[in-house]
Amino acid sequence: MIVDPPGAGSRRLAVLGKPIAHSRSPQLQLAAYRELGLTDWTYERSEVDEAALPDFLASLDSSWRGLSLTMPLKEAVIPLLDELDQLATRTGAVNTVVLDDGGRRLGWNTDVGGIVRAFAERGVRPASVLLLGTGATARSTLAAFAELGVAKVLVAGRSADRVGEVVAVAEGWGVSAAAFEPGLDLTGLPPEIDLIASSLPREAEVGLPAAVPMGVSLFDVAYGVEPGPLTRAWRDAGESARIVSGLDLLVHQALLQVRLFTAGDLEQPLPDEAAVLRAMRAAVGGF
């Protein structure tokens, strides 16, 4: 997929979703553009749901360069795009839309790369995983686990049909997978599990074990001012070093988005990318 480089002058970007007020993407993205000297680029939040998405996209003029997408838009946007990158096609999930100078809408998935980078940074190398959730982010997580060489995944969710779909996707990517029959009740965690990966929203109800299992890491994509119940349990148990957080994912997938928005190249590092990454981390608290 070839993307024309952005023209001179200011460019507009935004993160879309519903709800969206909690998103820290504006702080991350603006910190990156300021570090890169793009002081006239703007990035905002817009609360948009599936019904409003077509009209929102149709309203964008040539000043717009791109969009970040969160729940519930990662699947809904696909029929509205002109082209998808390989990972977006593979996962059926788009979290990044680049608007090229020819007016095309190009869909990308930077969540997969963000997860792989976050796990590498934290030094977490799972072999047997319990995946909570069956949506677009869960499929991106599975794609990342396939890249990371995860041997086995148990999938938990509220709908047996959706769990079955995710199991089939995992097996299609060469990852051994099965349904976790207790669903979202973690009180009977199998002993071979070394990572719990939650793609659930913060408000989701999960049956927690009486004690955090020793040696089990946590990947929790949800983030907010206060930690969700899973992250809180691991922190209370003194296991913070075993957490790959939603902010870890957010900053790494956002860095990949900045590559796309500024140069249209997912694989080409930014100028002084380490400084850009430091600026992004500092913008959300230097976690």
What are the per-10-residue average pLDDT scores of the chain (287 residues)?
Answer: 60 96 94 96 98 98 96 96 96 96 94 97 96 94 96 95 95 94 91 95 86 94 83 93 94 98 94 96 81
Pair 87, 112: CB distance under 8 Å:
yes
Q: What are phi and psi of 85, to 5 degrees?
A: -80, 170
Percent composition of the chain: helix, strand, coil (DSSP 3-state, to 5): 35, 20, 45
Locate 76 and state its tokens.
């809904």
Q: Are 65 and 99 in contact (CB under 8 A)?
A: yes
Distance of CA 8 to the CA centre of its chain: 30
The reply to whether 172 and 264 lie within a common domain is no
Task: State how far the Cα of 184 lies from the Cα of 102, in Å rounded to an integer.
Answer: 46
Could you tell me if 141 and 102 lie in one domain?
Answer: no
- In a domain? residue 225: yes
Integer angstrom CA distances of residue 15 from 28, 66, 225? 11, 9, 18
Whether residues 132 and 205 share a domain: the answer is yes
Measured at the CA of 19, the angle between CA 141 and CA 240, to 5 degrees, comes to 50
Q: Please indicate, yes or no, whether residues 165 and 133 belong to a single structural domain of this protein.
A: yes
Of 24, 45, 65, 74, which one is the catalytic site residue?
Answer: 74
Instruction: Provide the pLDDT for residue 10.
Output: 87
256 with 182, same domain: the answer is no
Residue span of the structural domain in which 74 resides: 12-111+248-283
The whole-number pLDDT of residue 186 equals 92
152 flagged as catalytic: no
Vertex 37, ends 34 and 42: CA angle to 5°? 50
Alpha-carbon Rg for the chain, nearest whole angstrom, is: 19
Tally of domains in the chain: 2
Distance set, CA 270 to CA 28, 86, 165 (Å):
15, 22, 37
Q: Is position 62 within any domain?
A: yes
181 shares a domain with 74: no
Q: Are residues 154 and 220 in the same domain?
A: yes
Q: Which long-range contacts (CB under 8 A, 24 or more apart) does 281-286 make?
A: 281/251, 282/31, 283/24, 283/27, 283/28, 283/30, 283/31, 284/24, 284/27, 284/28, 284/247, 284/250, 284/251
| Structural domain includes residue 198 | yes
Is 166 part of a structural domain of the chain? yes
| Structural domain contains residue 120 | yes
Same domain, 136 and 234: yes
Residues 229, 123: one domain? Answer: yes
Distance (Å, whole) CA 260 – CA 108: 9
Could you tell me if residue 3 is inside a domain?
no
CATH assignment at residue 92? 3.40.50.10860
The reply to whether 127 falls in a domain is yes
Assess if residue 5 is contained within a domain: no
Helical axes 273-283 vs 25-35, angle rounded to 10°? 140
CATH code, 122: 3.40.50.720
- Assess whether 103 and 180 both reside in one domain: no
Is 252 in the same domain as 201? no
Q: 271 and 216 in one domain?
A: no
What pTM was computed for the model?
A: 0.93
